[in-house]
Amino acid sequence: MSLMKTGQARIIFFGYLIDLVKEREVVLEITEPTKVKDVLSRSLSVSQGLDVVVLINDYPATIDSYVKPGDTVKILPHIGGG
Amino acid sequence: MTAKGWWGKLLWIDLSNRKTKQVELDGGMLSAYVGGRGLAVRLLWDYTRPGVDPLSPENLLVIAIGPITGLPGPSTGKAVVASKSPLTCGYGDGNLGSRAAVMLKRAGFDALVFSGRLEKPSYVYIENGKTDFYDADDLWGLDSFSAERKLLERHGRSAGVLVIGPSGERKVKMATIVSQMGRSGGRPGIGAVMGSKNLKAIVIRGAKEPVIADLKSLREVATRAYLEARSKPAYSFWVRQGTMATIQWSQENSVLPTFNFSEGVFEESSSIDGFAMEKLKVAQRGCPNCNSICGNVILDATGEESELDYENVAMLGSNIGLGDLRRVAQLNRLADMWGIDTIGLGSAIGFAIEASQRGLLGERIEWGDFQKILELAEDIALRRTALGNNLAEGLMHASNMYKCEECAIHVKGLSVSAYDCHAAPGMALSYGVSSVGAHHKDAWVISWEVSHGRFDYSPEKARRVFELQKIRGGFFENLVACRLPWVELGLELDWYVKLFNLSTGLKWSLDDHMLVAERTLTLIRSYWIREFYAEGKAWSRRMDYPPTKWFTRPYTRGPLKGARLDPQKYDELLGYYYELVGWDHRGVPRASTLRKLGLNDVEAYLGRITGLTN
């Protein structure tokens, strides 16, 4: 469990996205509300077109939702489930 | 004249008289239905009497493959098993990866049709065009693994085997057909149909080479498709965890079935997820012709190998409150050996635990009480005890017997597979209008739904469900290819269109396949209605409703606490879907829809029994 400071947001990756970004979890500086897609492309070099499932503080969100300082963002791949 | 790729014939096996005949399938029939599911439902429509008792000799068992089965190409080693379901009394099918699919192709047939009933337990051996009947005295009573081992010793290890276990013999209404010790298909009781015919196994060997329009190019395209699948970003993780990755995904998205679909999160989920499995993994297995194999094997609580996937683990794990993966694996292995649907078994056990806790059974069973669960599982699979026997008849029967509709998580009698829909209206619709009852195979819309207006009941969701039904429940089921390389890795659909064209010599587009898919799905709906009317039962849009509990009992825990479906909005969503697919307010195909799809004979029949709107 990462300890976040004021002005930070925690980003957790799931499934094959861990392989893709080569990180399970990162903590980012967030000074103002920022769209999830901007966080992903600017800070993590993840392509803009990435089609993912987003949860902010465990609640359904999208890549156009805003991340605020203190938020935990979960990024999951789409999967087929058998 | 039949195009290349198909054999243009099926083998009809009259079990009562131990006779066979080869029946020609003309090119019109094959291009209208392609194979697999489409071919199976057409044969059932044409050759079963309306209202036939599913467990009578009159019912048919169909094993069908498609024009790319057994040829080089990603995941082309599957077969469809279909019949009128004894569980739902509607259309029932399933698919399974098996050498039997490849061998059926090489034996020279597009399908097998079994009619009648053997006088005594026996098995059928098909080698190329020749069929023999053997007594199954030494096989009847054996579990599916032991029976298959004996058959492989007798007929050679490369033979394809489809076999039933003790559940199929006892006509348990969720009995499956098993192959390769862990591959199962036919959730709606297709194994019970096989058992009702005294047919323990089907063994197939073949050495014929089908005529392929352009074999050289097909091999080249297949090689490129395999390489493309391997190059996808998700490939490595997929091979490591397969569908088991979905446990964590479902937990995070609050859709992991927990305590008989009462909740969407399970406190012990990390004990049964893909990472827990990776630590215990001892082997990996896959279907024929697949380079994206997803069968993960661990040693269960007794030290035996058990092949896991998401549905089995969720239904025999979180859904019954069991958080020990090795014990879940034990239940999973036993279910495969008995030849009973793991999803149905998990749902039946969940029903019993919930009913017991509501004071309806005269005894109390706790969530996760492994010893009692193990005993109950065996009672169901082997029809021991009154409770086991009632649950073996299916959830609708149990619901009536024990007066607990909320405990019965099913649609049209088929138990819901492992996605809770308290907060997923689109997936609830997908289950509601699935071709065989509640199954994820046709339209697994939930992954799209959680990132596109999760709580909406918008027409867009109905559109997405229909689109996925045509691809998953039509295109892949008719070709009889596994959808997972497409849905999990992102392997483009066009690869399969190319393989089809190179096999048959036809020049079809994806749209051509979608039209066949629509025809298949509409004929399946028509078959349900025909059978319901023939049995004197009423058909209404209520048949397409998801389980009661999702409307009446909100989540009590987790991030989405308080979530439940809205019945009025669901009904509106169902209306959008009917409009889209061309069915009327009852869910009956319109005359114009049937005509558009070339189902004029079906239009005439349904018009007589129920009256059609235009």
Would the CB atoms of B237 and A78 count as touching at under 8 Å? no
Smallest CA–CA distance, residue B423 to chain A, in Å, is 11
Cα separation, B566 vs B578, in Å, equals 18
B54: closest CA of chain A, how far (Å): 28
B55 and B129 in a single domain? The answer is yes
Element (H, E) at B165: none
In B89-159, the DSSP E strands lie at 91-97, 111-115, 122-127, 130-135
Q: What is the count of residue pairs from A and B with beta carbons less than 8 Å apart?
A: 82
Does B548 share its domain with B476?
A: yes
Mean pLDDT of B41-64: 98
A54/B249 Cβ within 8 A:
no
| pLDDT above 80 (res B540) | yes
Query: What is the arithmetic mean of pLDDT over B533-548?
Result: 95
State the complex-level ipTM.
0.92
Mean pLDDT of B14-20: 98
Mutate which of A53, A59, A72 to disrupt the B interface (most B C-beta within 10 Å)? A53
- pLDDT at residue number B538: 82
Asked if residue B212 belongs to a domain, the reply is: no
The answer to whether residue B235 is domain-embedded is no
Q: Given pLDDT bands bounded at 50, 70 and 90, which one contains residue A50?
A: confident
Separation of alpha carbons A39 and B247, rounded Å: 27
Asked if B448 has any chain A CB less than 8 Å from its own CB, the reply is: yes
CA–CA gap between residue B1 and residue B519 (Å, rounded): 22
Closest Cα partner for B34 from B607, B518, B575?
B518
Residue B258 maps to a domain: yes
Mutate to test the interface with A, among B236, B293, B307, B451 (most CBs of A within 10 A): B451
Domain count across chain B: 3
The reply to whether residue A15 touches residue B454, judged by beta carbons under 8 angstroms, is: no
Specify the DSSP class assigned to residue A3. P
The 8-class DSSP code of residue B258 comes to B
Domain residues for the domain of B368 are 244-415
The tally of CA atoms less than 13 A away on the side-chain side of residue B202 is 28
pLDDT on residue B180: 96
Work out the average pLDDT over B361-365.
94
Tell whether B243 is within 8 A of chain A (Cβ): yes
Local structure of residue B469 (DSSP, 8 states): H
Task: Tell me, yes or no, whether B500 lies in a domain.
Answer: no
| Structural domain includes residue B214 | no
Question: Is B163 within the bounds of a domain?
Answer: yes
| Partner A contacted by B440 (CB < 8 A) | yes
Helix, strand or coil, per DSSP, at residue B164: coil
Domain boundary among the residues B361, B392, B415 is at: B415
Of A14, A19, A78, nearest to B248 by CB-CB distance is A14
Residue B216, in any domain of the structure = no
A81/B234 CB distance under 8 A: no
Q: At which residue do the structure tokens 């077109």 appear?
A: A49
Sequence-ordered strand ranges (E) for B238-294: 281-285
Residue type, B141: G
Cβ of residue B416 closer than 8 Å to a chain A Cβ: no
Contact A14 B249 (CB under 8 A): yes
Contact B64, B79 (CB under 8 A): yes
Does the structure show a pLDDT above 70 at B2?
no
**pLDDT confidence band for B247 (50 / 70 / 90):** very high
**CB B173 within 8 Å of CB B86:** yes
**B403 and B283 within one domain:** yes
Mark whether B437 and B393 lie in a shared domain: no
Minimum CA–CA partner of A18 in chain B: B237
Query: Does B556 lie in the same domain as B523?
Result: yes
Residue B483 forms contact with A (CB below 8 Å): yes
Same domain for B268 and B140, yes or no, is: no
User: Of the candidates B262, B255, B256, which has an alpha carbon nearest to the alpha carbon of residue B550?
Assistant: B262
Shortest alpha-carbon distance between residue B122 and chain A (Å): 33
The reply to whether residue A15 touches residue B487, judged by beta carbons under 8 angstroms, is no
- pLDDT score of B125: 98
Using an 8 Å Cβ cutoff, are B281 and B343 in contact? no
pLDDT digits 0-9 by tens, B131-159 = 999 999 999 999 999 999 999 999 999 99
Exposed, middle or buried, B231 (CB in 10 Å: 0-12/13-18/19+)? Answer: exposed
Contact status, residue B26 vs residue B39, Cβ threshold 8 Å: no
Say whether A55 and B253 touch across the interface (CB within 8 A).
Answer: yes
- Which residue, among B230, B232, B237, would best test binding to A if mutated, counting the most A CBs under 10 Å from its CB? B237
pLDDT band at A38 (very low <50, low <70, confident <90, very high): confident
The 8-class DSSP code of residue B163 comes to E
**Chain B closest-CA separation from residue A9 CA (Å):** 18
The answer to whether B110 and B37 are in contact (CB under 8 A) is: no
Q: How many CA atoms lie within 13 A of B593 on its CB side?
A: 23
Chain B residues lying within 8 Å of A18, measured CB to CB: 237
- Residue B275 contacts A, CB cutoff 8 Å: no
The residue with greater pLDDT, B478 or A45, is B478
Q: How far apart are CA B1 and CA B31, in angstroms?
A: 11
- Please determine, for residue A4, whether its predicted confidence score (pLDDT) is greater than 90: no
Do B353 and B438 belong together in one domain?
A: no
DSSP letter, residue B2: P
Q: Is B450 an interface residue toward A (CB < 8 Å)?
A: yes
Contacts of B253 in chain A (CB under 8 A): 53, 55, 60, 76
Beta-carbon separation of A82 and B238 below 8 A: no
> Does the residue B501 lie in any domain?
no
For A14, name the nearest residue in chain B, comparing CA atoms only.
B249
What stretches of B382-509 show up as alpha helix (H) in DSSP?
Answer: 386-392, 395-402, 425-432, 446-449, 459-469, 477-479, 484-489, 494-504
The chain-wide mean pLDDT, for chain B, equals 97
Q: What is the pLDDT of residue B441?
A: 83
Please give the C-alpha separations between residue A60 and each of A52, A56, B38, B45, B214, in angstroms, as whole numbers: 12, 7, 37, 44, 48
Is B341 part of the contact surface with chain A (CB cutoff 8 Å)?
Answer: no
Find all residues with CB under 8 Å of B502, minimum gap 6, and list them.
B212, B213, B214, B215, B217, B218, B221
**Which residues of A fall within a CB distance of 8 Å from B251?**
none
Q: Which residue, of B380, B397, B415, is where some domain finishes?
A: B415
Considering only CB atoms, which chain A residues are within 8 Å of B248?
A: 14-15
Residue B244 contacts A, CB cutoff 8 Å: no
Please give the pLDDT value at position A58. Answer: 95
Distance from CA of A74 to the nearest CA of B (A): 9
Pairing of strands B414-415, B410-411: antiparallel
What values do phi and psi take at A10, rounded to 5? -105, 130
A42, pLDDT greater than 90: no
B480, B403: one domain: no
Answer for the pair B218, B68: CB distance below 8 angstroms, yes or no.
Answer: no
Is residue B72 located within the same domain as residue B192?
Answer: yes
Domains, chain A, ordered by start: 8-77 (3.10.20.30)
Are residues B544 and B469 in contact, defined by beta-carbon separation less than 8 angstroms?
A: no
Instruction: Look at A82 and B243 and tell me if their CB atoms are within 8 Å.
Output: yes
pLDDT at B533 over 80: yes
Domain end, chosen from B185, B205, B225, is at B205
- Report CB contact under 8 Å: A81, B237: no
Say how far apart CA B492 and CA B599 lie, in whole Å: 30
**Mean local confidence (pLDDT), A53-67:** 94
For residues B124 and B47, state if they share a domain: yes
Cross-sheet strand order for the sheet of B78-84:
B19-24, B9-14, B111-115, B61-64, B78-84, B91-97
Chain B segment 205-234 residues within 8 A of A by beta carbon are: 233-234
Interval A3-21 mean pLDDT:
85
Mean pLDDT confidence for B530-556:
96
Q: Are residues B395 and B428 in the same domain?
A: no
How many angstroms separate the CA of residue A52 from the nearest CA in chain B? 8
Please give the model's pTM, rounded to 2 decimal places: 0.97
B444 touches chain A (CB under 8 A): yes
Q: State the average pLDDT over residues B254-266.
A: 98
CA dist A10 → A1, A30, A71, B252 (Å): 10, 10, 6, 16
Looking at residue A20, its pLDDT comes to: 84
Look at residue A3 in the predicted model and tell me its pLDDT. 56
Q: Do B253 and A53 touch (CB under 8 A)?
A: yes
Top pLDDT among B468 and A50 is at B468
- Predicted confidence (pLDDT) at residue A2 exceeds the cutoff of 60: no
CA nearest B443 in A: which residue?
A: A80
Dist. CA B99–CA B222, nearest whole Å: 19
Long-range contacts for B299-306 (Cβ within 8 Å, ≥24 apart)?
Answer: B299/B326, B299/B329, B300/B326, B300/B327, B300/B329, B300/B330, B300/B332, B300/B333, B301/B326, B301/B327, B301/B329, B301/B330, B302/B330, B304/B330, B304/B333, B305/B333, B306/B182, B306/B330, B306/B332, B306/B333, B306/B336
Q: What is the CATH number of the domain that holds B137?
A: 3.60.9.10
- Kindly tell me if the per-residue pLDDT of B495 is higher than 70: yes
- Put simply, the answer to whether B487 touches A80 (Cβ < 8 Å) is yes
| Token duo for residue B439 | 């199954």
User: Are B446 and A74 inside 8 Å of each other by CB?
Assistant: no
B137 and B258 in a single domain? The answer is no
pLDDT band at A47 (very low <50, low <70, confident <90, very high): low
A59 pLDDT more than 80:
yes
Residue B351: CATH number of its domain: 1.10.569.10
Residue of A nearest to B440 (CA): A82
Q: Give pLDDT, residue B586.
A: 96
